[in-house]
Amino acid sequence: MTITIGLFGFGKTGSVVAKEIINDFECELKWVMRESAMHEGEYASKLLGFDHSEGKIYRIENICMDQFFKHNRVDVIIDFSSSSAVNVYKEAVKYGSKIVSAISNYDQEDIRKLKELSRQTAVLYSPNITVGINFLMEASKSLQKIAPNADIEIIEEHFRGKQDVSGTALRIAEELGLDKEQHVNSIRVGGIVGKHEVVFGLPNQTIRIVHESHNRAAFGQGAIYASKWIMGKETGIYSMEQALSLIMSGEEDLEKDAERFIADVPIKTS
């Protein structure tokens, strides 16, 4: 079965995510919605170097949303745009679309609306949708149980232009019961895609757990994994940790799914 996908955002991350979706044999990128007028009416696939037409680009301002979602229904909407986009795709859920949101930092009112949508459809929300960061999270929680007296600091590093504090780092602090103001340290330099480190300081040794995304394709692969997972879910709000729980518990073989996040996926030609 092919999963049809609508993508919000075609910036630094959305454009790379689009490429991963187009490359995936089980997914079809039906459309891309963006705020800017750049490449409006063109196909994401063509811009990304494919021969076929997939993922027509629309500009949010020029669309009548209710009519659009009615005539361009998709199984899953993936959001890599901005906090306020939830106000737009709330119209889509009445046509049965499920939501995968990767927005790192939500305004309070927007996250409330996202949660409200989960009464009508399945919504997965993750400030860091890579598979690997969820291993860091689990490993950090285990270590904290073993060494409850360790000093713990979280270091997050991102590209120079990223304005907000990493939503992932804030989530890690929350999971470890740490004061976010005090224990999250941010570095903004150059083009770092995303690096998170949890440092455990003990009297005679230091343990560091590090995850780094080298390429934004890691976010695309995570979002595709989440989309496939959410297809089997009814209404409710879900996290990436839940989507990965079978892999984490060893009940599902990571090898089986490895090509989704580790290896290169073959190019789809049709």
> Interface with ligand NAD by CB under 6 A: which range of 116-124, 127-135, 184-192, 231-239?
127-135
Q: Which does 166 bind (CB under 5 to 8 A by kind): ligand LLHOTIJI, ligand NAD, none?
A: ligand LLHOTIJI
User: From residue 164 to residue 203, what is the string marking binding to ligand LLHOTIJI with x (rule CB under 6 A)?
Assistant: --xxx-------------------------x---------
Give the residue with the Cβ less far from ligand LLHOTIJI, 83 or 166: 166
Residue from the set 3, 5, 6, 14 that interacts with ligand NAD by CB under 6 A: 14
Tell which positions 63-92 bind ligand NAD, by CB under 6 A.
80-82, 84-85, 88
Tell me if residue 162 is catalytic. Answer: yes
- Residue 218 CA to residue 221 CA, distance in Å, equals 5
CA angle 193, 248, 228 (to 5 degrees): 70
Q: Read off the tokens for 198.
A: 């949890």
- Residue 58 CA to residue 162 CA, distance in Å, equals 25
Contact call for residue 11 and ligand NAD (CB under 6 A): yes
Contact call for residue 162 and ligand LLHOTIJI (CB under 6 A): yes
Query: In angstroms, what is the minimal distance from the CB of 70 to ligand NAD?
Result: 18
Contact call for residue 239 and ligand NAD (CB under 6 A): no
SS3 (DSSP) at 40: coil
Tell which positions 82-111 bind ligand LLHOTIJI, by CB under 6 A.
104
Beta-carbon count within 10 A of 201 CB: 14
